[in-house]
Chain A
Amino acid sequence: MAISKVTTASITDADITTAKLAYDAAPFRNIFINGDMSIAQRGTSQASITSTNYYTIDRFRFVDSSLGTFTMSQDTDVPTGQGFAKSLKVDCTTANASPSGSNVLQIQQRFEGQMLQYLKKGTANAQSLTASFWIKSNKTGTYICELRDIDNSRSISKSYTINASNTWEKKTITFAGDTTGTLDNDNKVSFDIQFWLGSGTNYTSGTLQTSWDSTVNANRAVGQVNLADSTANDFWITGVQLEAGTTASDFEFLPYDVNLRRCMRYFERTTAVGASDNYVNFASGLAQYSSGCVYCFLWKVTKRANPSMSATAASTFLNENGGSFPAGTSISFSQINKTSAQCDVFSSSGITQGNGAILKSNGTFDAYIDASSEL
């Protein structure tokens, strides 16, 4: 057939599939950030976890309200031949086989409402969502995956089963679109997804809520096994994807640098870890006082919100100025915003007011300064 005879009508829409296209039809389709667990700015392992916080792998929040003690780590145990290099591992180190009613154990990621407006939630055109992930544990049985609309206190839960002990399995779960409750179009938390790992009866005593509705705690995690019931229990997860639609596409691998910068919107660590020299330059500034220097930190990525600041002890830094290298005795932050912050580091002596200054790690690889605007 001559090419001129091929018209639009010759090829039906159904014949044009993603697999046949030479480009990715839906870049950045994965709502999760760091779903391949490749970024771990806070470090690769955290032991003795008994409370909720962000540990190790970026963007994944570990929720533990008094249900066992865990080590969370970035691990190299991954499903074979799938392209993943890292997984998130949790290891129960102190068991709690009899949870109290309010105990919760989850891996969670939270999302800004402004990032999810395209889901058209709360309208007649609300998008379905499909979660896909690889998972492995010796603790087989029923697990719960839950989506929550925090703005409108609505949720939906679906169960899945880990069938074989210590074997990587891929799970795919589709959630209907929610025609009720629009998400706020702002930078605050509007939506989250929970991978339940254990629960008290406050969250299991009802009937699992498998359709979108107002959140009823008793219906959120019905049937969930307790990963905290033995110190023999381990759990791995990687390749986590949540996307609009009713089918799971292949995992969307992003370049490492793109992944890192997406994480840095929420957390950025300036650190000496991994440097070749343990006197690492952190920032340049000025000896504004006779006893202290002022530095300006400019973030590599604009933050979601004005970030909270924290740092290792002042003594892990020094104020290089005019050929003098006094150790820090106190450190503080001010004028914190989405793009920068002021850092003041004082020393007991060795500073000449007016000198230019460089903030350096004080002969240690363990110095760091954190800017966190996590959800």
Chain B
Amino acid sequence: MINTVEKIYNEYGTSSGTFKVTKQDGTILWVPNDEANTDYQAIQEWIAAGNTVIDNGGGE
């Protein structure tokens, strides 16, 4: 079960196409933006259920 999802930015301040997922059991996953990835599919379902991705923006 997903607890939080955070959008990750790369060292150039642009989106890395990766989400940091923290599960309720404390497990951390870095999930790429790929609709064939089952963890990415789970993020989409989590968002559809009314949850919000943390986006702290890019830049240093």
Using a CB–CB distance below 8 Å, which chain A residues touch chain B?
186-189, 288-289, 294, 304-310, 332-337, 344, 372-375
Complexed CA–CA distance, A132 and B1 (Å): 35
- Note all chain A residues with C-beta closer than 8 A to B20: 332
- A375/B38 in contact, CB under 8 A: yes
- Note all chain B residues with C-beta closer than 8 A to A188: 36
Given contacts A308-B29, A309-B30, A310-B29, contact A334 B37 (CB under 8 A): no
- A187/B36 in contact, CB under 8 A: yes
Tell yes or no: B18 within 8 A of A by CB.
Answer: yes
> How far is the CB of A263 from the nearest CB of chain B, in Å?
16
Tell yes or no: B3 within 8 A of A by CB.
Answer: no
- A334/B29 in contact, CB under 8 A: no
- Note all chain B residues with C-beta closer than 8 A to A305: 34, 36-37
Give the nearest-CB partner of A335 in chain B: B16
User: Which one of B20, B21, B32, B39 has the highest number of Cβ atoms from chain A below 10 Å of its Cβ?
Assistant: B32
Using a CB–CB distance below 8 Å, which chain B residues touch chain A?
8, 10-11, 16-18, 20-21, 27-34, 36-40
- B28/A337 in contact, CB under 8 A: no
- A332/B8 in contact, CB under 8 A: yes
- Note all chain B residues with C-beta closer than 8 A to A310: 27-30
User: Which one of A335, A336, A337, A374 has the highest number of Cβ atoms from chain B below 10 Å of its Cβ?
Assistant: A336
Complexed CA–CA distance, A305 and B39 (Å): 11
- B11/A288 in contact, CB under 8 A: yes
Choose among B16, B17, B32 the residue that contacts A308 (Cβ–Cβ < 8 A). Answer: B32
> How far is the CB of B28 from the nearest CB of chain A, in Å?
7
- A334/B36 in contact, CB under 8 A: no
- Note all chain B residues with C-beta closer than 8 A to A187: 36
- B10/A334 in contact, CB under 8 A: yes
Complexed CA–CA distance, A116 and B39 (Å): 23
Q: A308-B30, A309-B30, A374-B38 are in contact. List 6 more A-B contacts (CB 8 A).
A: A306-B32, A307-B32, A308-B29, A310-B28, A334-B16, A334-B30
- A308/B31 in contact, CB under 8 A: yes
The contact sample of 10 A-B pairs, CB cut-off 8 A, is A306-B36, A306-B37, A307-B32, A308-B29, A334-B17, A336-B17, A336-B32, A372-B39, A373-B36, A375-B38
- A334/B8 in contact, CB under 8 A: yes
What are the 10 closest A-B residue pairs judged by CB atoms, nearest first? Answer: A334-B16, A305-B36, A306-B32, A306-B34, A333-B30, A336-B32, A309-B30, A308-B39, A334-B18, A308-B29
Complexed CA–CA distance, A307 and B20 (Å): 13
- A304/B36 in contact, CB under 8 A: yes
Complexed CA–CA distance, A305 and B31 (Å): 11
- Note all chain B residues with C-beta closer than 8 A to A294: 11
- Note all chain B residues with C-beta closer than 8 A to A289: 11
Complexed CA–CA distance, A328 and B51 (Å): 32
> How far is the CB of A177 from the nearest CB of chain B, in Å?
27
Complexed CA–CA distance, A337 and B17 (Å): 10
Choose among A304, A309, A335, A337 the residue that contacts B10 (Cβ–Cβ < 8 A). Answer: A335
Give the nearest-CB partner of A292 in chain B: B11
Given contacts A334-B8, A336-B32, A337-B32, contact A308 B37 (CB under 8 A): yes
Give the nearest-CB partner of A337 in chain B: B32
Give the nearest-CB partner of B9 in chain A: A334
> How far is the CB of B9 from the nearest CB of chain A, in Å?
8
Given contacts A288-B11, A308-B39, contact A332 B34 (CB under 8 A): no
- Note all chain A residues with C-beta closer than 8 A to B40: 308
Complexed CA–CA distance, A374 and B31 (Å): 13
> How far is the CB of B51 from the nearest CB of chain A, in Å?
18
> How far is the CB of A266 from the nearest CB of chain B, in Å?
10
Give the nearest-CB partner of B39 in chain A: A308
Give the nearest-CB partner of A186 in chain B: B36
